[in-house]
Every structure is written in C-alpha cells, then in structure tokens.
Structure 1
Amino acid sequence: MTDRLTQQKDLLAVLIDADNVSPAGIGAVLAEIASLGTASVKRIYGDWTKPNLKGWKSAASEHVIQPIQQFANTVGKNATDSALIIDAMDLLYTGRFHGFCIVSSDSDFTRLAARIREEGVTVYGFGERKTPEAFRNACDSFTYLEVIEKAEDESASETSQRTPTSTLRMDTKLVSVLRASVAAASDDDGWANLAHVGSVIRKKQPDFDSRNWGYAKLSDLVRATELFTVKPNPGGGLRARTLSRAGN
C-alpha cells in the first residue's frame, strides 16, 4: 500500500482545450509535463464534427489522449469549456491528483484554476502569449507554448538565441524581480539558494520562465545579467548574491 501511495504522489491530470491549442506542438507540451509528474489522465475536449479540429485525430492517437466529444448545441455558448470544467471538478474530488495541467489560452478557465488551488492542488497552465493575465496569474505556474516549441526547435538544430547581457540589464522589470527575489530568499550573509529564488519568483509571477530570454535554467539567466555572484551551495545546488553597485 505504501509503494502505491508513493507512486500516486506525482499524478497529473492533463486537460486540453482543442479550440485553443494546435496539435503540432502537443508532443513538446507533453514532454514538458513529463518533467513535472506522471500524466495518468490525458483528455482533449472539442466538437470533433468541426473540420478545423481534424488535425487532432492523429495527434491524439499518437500521444494516447482521450478525445471527449462535446457538440456546440447553442450558438455563442462554449460547451467545450463547460465539459472540461465539469470533468476537472470530478477528477479533483477523487483526491488522486497532486496537479492539474490546463492547456488553453482561454480566460474562461481562470475560476477553475483558482478553485483547484483552493484545494491545495497545484495548477500548471500552458497557453499562448495572448493568454489573458487573469488566467496566467490564477495558475501556480504558466508556460508559454511558443517558448516550449522554440526550445524544441533549438534543441533539434543545436542553436540557441539568448538575450544578450546588455539587453537583460535594460529590462527593468526582469532586474527588479531578480533582485527582489534574491533578497527575499537570502540568508543573513546575503546568499540565496537559487531553487528558493525560483519558488519566490513563481509565486510573484507565474509566467516567469528563463527560457523567455533564451536561457535553459534560472542560474544561466542570473549569471547572464552579470548583476549577481553565483557559486555552488555547500548543501548542493547553486546560490546567488547581488553584486554591490561597485561590482564587488
């Protein structure tokens, strides 16, 4: 029984809004989700009688995603969203899942994300950059589909376009978030475990992702700004400390 409960700690429910996601990038999205846990439920919602969704047939089959049919019975009402929300709540009440992955750019799922989090369950959002801020902020973390797809393309071509140091340092919002988060996570000597820094940042800004600037890891981004000292942490991992204005 103990082994079974241990295995269930990383279970994820993946719910995909077919009207808002392209089948072309779903493989990269599921690979990203695999780094978060085990996707024991994978469902995609749409009206499969619509010709614009026909591309999902092969993608759903390849990635073993269960298609859920929802007819658009009333003009102007999104029955697909309603079906996804109802299923999400049913799954939530089973108590089996430690996280939900909602793949959509639709703000209609804002309240759903907030409700799931009220139960202490993690919500991972995935959507395009056009996703309304309300939905992004309702999630524990939100990852842009464009970033995932770009990372996959760069991995395949072994190239990477990183934002240069000079540009990073002119990004006042980025610099402010990094400085404030390092300060919030730092000890009495001013050193902060970068893993803790990442957690602080995500709480403030769920859509923060070092890959938005072309860096695979937070530590790479922090180093690239040349505003922090980064070195190994005695207890493992890395730690950072803000450089003084004089650079010491």
Structure 2
Amino acid sequence: MNGTHRMVRNEVPEHSLRLAVLIDADNAQASVIEGLLAEVARFGEATVKRIYGDFTSTASAQWKKVLNRYSIKPVQQFAYTTGKNATDSMLIIDAMDLLYTRRFDGFCLVSSDSDFTGLAMRIREEGLTVLGFGEKKTPEAFRNACHKFVFTEILRPGAQRKRASSESHKAETPAVAAIEGAEQEFPREFVLEALEQASDDSGWANLGTFGSYLNKLQPDFDARLYGFKKLSELVKAMPDIFAIDMRKVSGSNTKTMYVRDKKLKD
C-alpha cells in the first residue's frame, strides 16, 4: 500500500480507510463496543467485524447480547486445553489470511494482550495502518507496535458523560479544571518535545503536524485522557504552555491553527 493510506494527524485520517476489526473476546469488554465502533468510524469503514472466543462459556455471555445489534461475526473457538489460549491463535491466523487478500488499508486489533505485538508489527511491515484498542493495563510493547492506540476506558458510556459534565467547569477555568479532572498527569515535557520536533525554524507548528509527531513518539497519546475531546481544545485550554496563531489557508476562507511553545521569544 502506498503512503497515502497512513494517518496524517491524531484526529482525522487523510482519507477513509478500509478496516478489518478483530476483537479478542477474552480480553475486551462488551460495554465499550458502541464507543469503540464510533471511534473506528473516525478513521474509516469497518468492512469486516469479527470477534473470537469460546461463546459457550459464561465469560463470553456479555458479548452474545451485542453481536447481532452491531453486525459482528462471532468466530467460535473452543478451549481445548486449560491454560492455552486458542483464541489468540485463531485471531492471528484470520488476520494473516485477511492481510494477504490485499483488500484492506488497515486493521483494528481489540485486545489488552501483549501476544498481538508480533501481529501488529507484521501488519505494519506490509505498509498497512494498525489501530490498537485496549485497557490501560495493555503492555507497552503492544501499544507501541500500533500506529495509534486508544484506551478503551475513555470509550465507556460513563466516561463520555464524565467528559461532558466537565465541559461547564472548563468554561470558567480551562487549564486548571482540565488537569484536575484528568485521569493521569499531563506529560508537559513530552508534549513540548514533540512540539519542538514538529516546529519550523520560527518555532511554529501546524496543529496536524504537531498531532502526527505526538502519535509517532507515543501511539497511545490521546487528548481525551486529559479531559478534552480534541487536541485543538487541549491546546486552547493551556495558554500558559502554548501560543496559538490562526492562519488563513491560501485560496480559502478557512483558517488553520499553528502552535508554539509559549516560552519561546519572537
């Protein structure tokens, strides 16, 4: 696949991708499926949706209620031996079969299991986009093997309501409210390092280029972890860290955001 199929920023892909969504039922929660598929839709079209697991077990009962509603094809895999995960093997075999059809631009791997690290790396070697989805306990190796990794905790219905509720507070004291309400500390040093790498000689960086560098350095970076829906909102809410310049796009009435480290002198 040529480079035009790659994501160019952390918020919007260059164009809609044809995606294969493969879910590990043993390591994913059914409660996130609505938010997960909505997230996938931001990057492209889920042309294949499959879930792998032993659906005769009580552990997979949660998934049975949502499969038909979201048109997800279940792939039954019996646990032949205790302690051996046959589900992982079946998912990997299916992924390779789909990869060699050359019908997809990318894969969405839904699991918190590090066993899929090698699969993610192999898909990337073929020039396809790899989007990972898993809980915060997901090992770093798997997260970093993806082009973009999304923590499923922020896709749960409760998390959506919590972010919406925090919007009113941010209107009064944006930066303070966002950081205090965040689930983890804002990585200021890392973000400014990415901004420096994305900047031109004058110190300014296009927001899209900035977002791209953030994800290249840390695939699981997500503005929503810090209380914001988009990177642009995060930047606007932190005037003590970022300087902003809205520039008119040549030949258009629209404007695009440029960002700079607030401490840099003109």
Task: Flag whether TM exceeds 0.5 (same fold).
Answer: yes
- In the TM superposition, what whole-angstrom CA distance separates every residue of 1:151-177 from its partner, at most 9, and x where no partner exists? 43347xx412769635859x9871112
SS in 1 for 2:36: helix
- In the TM superposition, what whole-angstrom CA distance separates every residue of 1:59-82 from its partner, at most 9, and x where no partner exists? 011000000000111221100000
Counterpart selection for 1:63 from 46, 49, 70: 70
Equivalent residue, structure 1, for 2:211: 198
1:127-138 to 2 correspondence within 5 Å?
A: 127-138=134-145
Instruction: Give the whole-Å Cα distance in 2 for the aligned partners of 1:9 and 1:53.
Output: 32
Equivalent residue, structure 2, for 1:77: 84
Q: CA RMSD in A?
A: 2.4
Equivalent residue, structure 2, for 1:97: 104
Percent of pairs with identical residues: 51
Structure 2 stretches of 5 or more lacking a match?
1-14, 250-254
Change in CA separation of 1:213 and 1:92 when aligned onto 2, cut-off 3 Å: same
**Matched positions, count:** 237
Change in CA separation of 1:224 and 1:145 when aligned onto 2, cut-off 3 Å: same
Instruction: Give the whole-Å Cα distance in 2 for the aligned partners of 1:28 and 1:21.
Output: 13
Instruction: Give the whole-Å Cα distance in 2 for the aligned partners of 1:117 and 1:23.
Output: 27
Residue identity opposite 1:200 in structure 2: Y
TM-score of the two chains, using structure 1 as the length reference: 0.88
Instruction: Give the whole-Å Cα distance in 1 for the aligned partners of 2:189 and 2:16.
Output: 35
Counterpart selection for 1:214 from 206, 222, 227: 227
Q: 2:166 aligned with 1:160, yes or no?
A: yes
Equivalent residue, structure 2, for 1:242: 261
Contact kept, 8 Å, 1:81 with 1:108, in 2: the verdict is yes
SS in 1 for 2:201: coil
Equivalent residue, structure 2, for 1:227: 241
Q: 2:66 aligned with 1:88, yes or no?
A: no
Instruction: Give the whole-Å Cα distance in 1 for the aligned partners of 2:192 and 2:63.
Output: 43
Instruction: Give the whole-Å Cα distance in 1 for the aligned partners of 2:65 and 2:52.
Output: 15
Contact kept, 8 Å, 1:9 with 1:97, in 2: the verdict is no
Instruction: Give the whole-Å Cα distance in 1 for the aligned partners of 2:187 and 2:234.
Output: 10
| Structure 1 residue 211: Cα displacement | 0.4
Instruction: Give the whole-Å Cα distance in 1 for the aligned partners of 2:185 and 2:19.
Output: 36
Contact kept, 8 Å, 1:168 with 1:174, in 2: the verdict is no
Residue identity opposite 1:71 in structure 2: F
Residue identity opposite 1:214 in structure 2: G
TM-score of the two chains, using structure 2 as the length reference: 0.82
Q: Which structure is higher in helix share? A: 1
Instruction: Give the whole-Å Cα distance in 2 for the aligned partners of 1:172 and 1:181.
Output: 17
Contact kept, 8 Å, 1:193 with 1:233, in 2: the verdict is no
Q: Which of 1 and 2 has higher RCO (CA within 8 Å, sep 6+)?
A: 2
More moved, 64-73 vs 22-31: 22-31
Structure 1 stretches of 5 or more lacking a match?
1-7
SS in 1 for 2:130: strand
| Structure 1 residue 227: Cα displacement | 1.0
Equivalent residue, structure 2, for 1:108: 115
